[in-house]
Amino acid sequence: MSEHYEVLARKYRPHNFNELVGQSHTIRTLVNALDNNHLHHGFLFTGTRGVGKTTIARIFAKSVNCETGVSSNPCGKCETCLEIDLGQSVDLIELDAASHTGVDNMREILENAQYTPTKNLYKIYLIDEVHMLSKSSFNALLKTLEEPPKHIKFLLATTDPKKLPITILSRCLQFNLNKLTHNEILEHLKFIMNSEKLEFEDKALSKIADFGNGSMRDALSLLDQSISYGNGSVKDKDITEMLGLVNHSDIAKLALLVIEKKAKEALLLIRDLAHRGENLSTTLKDLTSLFHKISTAQMIVDEKQISPEIIDLANKISAQDLQLFYQIAINGQKDMQHSPSEQTGLEMTILRMIAFHPDQENTEKKNLKPSHSDKTALKKNKDNSINSDYLDKTNNKDVELDVIKAPDIKSQDDWEKVIVELGFEGAAKMLVKNTLFNSLVDSTLKLTLNNEFMNLLTKNTKNSIEKTLRSFYSDLTLFIESGETNGSTLSQKESTKLETERKITEEQFLGDDGLKELEETFNTKVDTKSIKSLKETKNV
């Protein structure tokens, strides 16, 4: 390690287009324009942080002002190239719009635009975070953009192009820079570690690439931190400790407990993780990622690309359950910030997964021998126009359910009664509650499924629904199509009812005179999201 350490993001900043990682579409356009000397006066580079906006702009500045001539391959050795690399070029004016939003600053800078470059071919204005300029500053910039001197080039960079006036956008060539892929970041990290002759583990660099989230600068900053933490090496164990990650074996164990419906053991594991001080929000994200990997494994034929652990989990769970778990995990991440604690949020998410897990044993029973309570329930079914009969055999000792014909469902209300009475479970339950009755003709039941739940309509889910229906009604064929349900499904009605009750509770609470007095005394307002009815509190 050198005595005067230079951060990796600066030390390994690309100095020419060949060294750039990713952004091939942008590089190709710029290279062709430079090599053919077909240069526009205004360029706009957009994209998230750390993807190369200002780096590309500086390489472009070298390309047009290199003392060897305009080309896509600046020499990097002449005085001009060296000055630009060091940030000392008098003809490259770099402006951070976030700290120079005022119109006076912009006018002062642009007034000098009329003067020719001090020593180079072009005077270049590089304005970073240009969307932060004030309206007056944009107007001043627009005037120069409309009729720029021939010796001026504008290079604008922004993370939020939607905030730019259309008048500015229309006068610039736009280049949208993509987030870098995981592999692009990973390979560059390996290159740097090898160049620095430092020890590393591939798994550790892969985690850093993940946390970079498409930003090379973020990944390099984290790599700097990792090298210091590991005293010159980057190991998986150190990365896990430094980032507060949960051990992968714990995540895999939690996934297995969910798949096997072991709620008690799952809660004990979560409480152990909490006791160890693990980040439970990260735990849920890692579990979501694992579900994605398992789902991918189920679709990939070549098992050489997949770890044995993932293959084992993939063989223990159906595709429909996996999709359900993934959706619940995603929603759980959104709800985490509103939970009383991270532990509560994770526990409720895991319990929700287990509660919605289909119990195949119940749906596979065809011949039933009801108890006294079952007889009462089935009699209730009959009273609700569900056509079933009992054949009393051998002096009423053994009773079997004998299905006579398909249900006489004529309306949405009839269909909702069937949903409640038949007791669908798991993904099948969620699906049927989001359907509308269309018709029942010649034993073919046609339903419309809410568009938002089409991902649940798998072959296994449909078979599960048909099996449950046929266990009571023979020869029934199910046909489901997607469409708009306009708030008329059983699920939507239940949600509307709950929302109405919540609003009534909120209005009653906020209308309390004592509460109003407290708000006035402490000059504050109640967080309406925290208002719950006694019923909701008990459910939690």
Total domains, the chain: 5
Question: Is the pLDDT reported for residue 150 higher than 80?
Answer: yes
Residue 144 maps to a domain: yes
One-letter amino acid identity for 440? L
User: 217 with 343, same domain?
Assistant: no
Residue 4's CB is within 10 A of a number of other CB atoms, namely 4
**Per-range mean pLDDT, top range of 24-33, 128-137, 274-283, 523-532:** 24-33
pLDDT digits 0-9 by tens, 476-488: 888 898 888 888 8
Phi/psi of residue 70, nearest 5 degrees: -70, 125
Question: Encoding tokens for residue 297?
Answer: 């494994």
pLDDT digits 0-9 by tens, 311-335: 888 888 888 888 889 999 999 998 8
User: 377 with 479, same domain?
Assistant: yes
Residue 288 maps to a domain: yes
Note the pLDDT of residue 291: 92
d(CA 48, CA 340): 33
Arithmetic mean of pLDDT, 84-98: 86
Residue 158 maps to a domain: yes
Give which of 325, 250, 261 is closest to 283, Cα–Cα. 250
pLDDT digits 0-9 by tens, 195-225: 999 999 998 898 899 888 889 999 999 999 9
Note the pLDDT of residue 4: 65
User: 163 with 302, same domain?
Assistant: no
Choose one of 320, 355, 390: the last residue of a domain. 355
User: 254 with 394, same domain?
Assistant: no
Percent of the chain, pLDDT > 70? Answer: 84
Choose one of 330, 355, 380: the last residue of a domain. 355
Give which of 512, 523, 521, 332 is closest to 531, Cα–Cα. 512
Return all residues near 148 (Cβ < 8 A) that are at least 6 apart: 41, 42, 113, 154
In Å, what is the CA distance from 315 to each residue of 258, 297, 354, 397, 460? 14, 9, 18, 43, 15
Question: Is the pLDDT reported for residue 87 higher than 70?
Answer: yes
Note the pLDDT of residue 374: 43
pLDDT digits 0-9 by tens, 151-185: 999 999 998 888 888 988 888 999 999 899 989 99
Note the pLDDT of residue 443: 80
User: 233 with 269, same domain?
Assistant: no
User: 205 with 339, same domain?
Assistant: no
User: 343 with 374, same domain?
Assistant: no
Note the pLDDT of residue 101: 61
User: 380 with 319, same domain?
Assistant: no
- Residue 376 is given by DSSP the state H
Residue 498 maps to a domain: yes
d(CA 204, CA 193): 12
Note the pLDDT of residue 279: 84
Arithmetic mean of pLDDT, 245-270: 89
pLDDT digits 0-9 by tens, 435-476: 999 988 878 889 999 888 887 788 888 888 888 888 767 778
Per-residue pLDDT band at 531 (split at 50, 70, 90): low
User: 143 with 88, same domain?
Assistant: yes
Per-residue pLDDT band at 402 (split at 50, 70, 90): very low
**Edge-to-edge order in the sheet of strand 173-176:** 92-96, 123-128, 152-158, 42-46, 173-176
Domain CATH code at residue 27 = 3.40.50.300
Residue 228 maps to a domain: yes
Question: Is the pLDDT reported for residue 521 higher than 90?
Answer: no
Arithmetic mean of pLDDT, 402-406: 43
HEC letters along 63-91: HHHCCCCCCCCCCCCCHHHHHHHHCCCCC
User: 270 with 322, same domain?
Assistant: yes
Domain CATH code at residue 236 = 1.10.8.60
pLDDT digits 0-9 by tens, 368-398: 344 444 444 444 444 443 443 433 433 443 4
Question: Is the pLDDT reported for residue 356 higher than 80?
Answer: no
Residue 274 maps to a domain: yes
Residue 453 maps to a domain: yes
In Å, what is the CA distance from 459 to each residue of 129, 357, 474, 477, 513? 50, 16, 20, 14, 56
pTM for this model (two decimals): 0.54
Mean pLDDT, the chain, integer = 81
Residue 3 maps to a domain: no
Is residue 358 within 8 A of residue 464, CB to CB? The reply is yes
User: 351 with 372, same domain?
Assistant: no
Note the pLDDT of residue 367: 37
Note the pLDDT of residue 532: 64
Residue 97 lies in domain: 8-176
User: 332 with 403, same domain?
Assistant: no
d(CA 415, CA 505): 31
User: Which residues lie across from 173 on neighbouring strands?
Assistant: 43
Question: Is the pLDDT reported for residue 102 higher than 80?
Answer: no
Note the pLDDT of residue 378: 42
Question: Is the pLDDT reported for residue 90 higher than 80?
Answer: yes
Question: Is the pLDDT reported for residue 265 higher than 90?
Answer: yes
Is residue 132 within 8 A of residue 116, CB to CB? The reply is no
Choose one of 488, 505, 520: the last residue of a domain. 488
Domain CATH code at residue 310 = 1.20.272.10
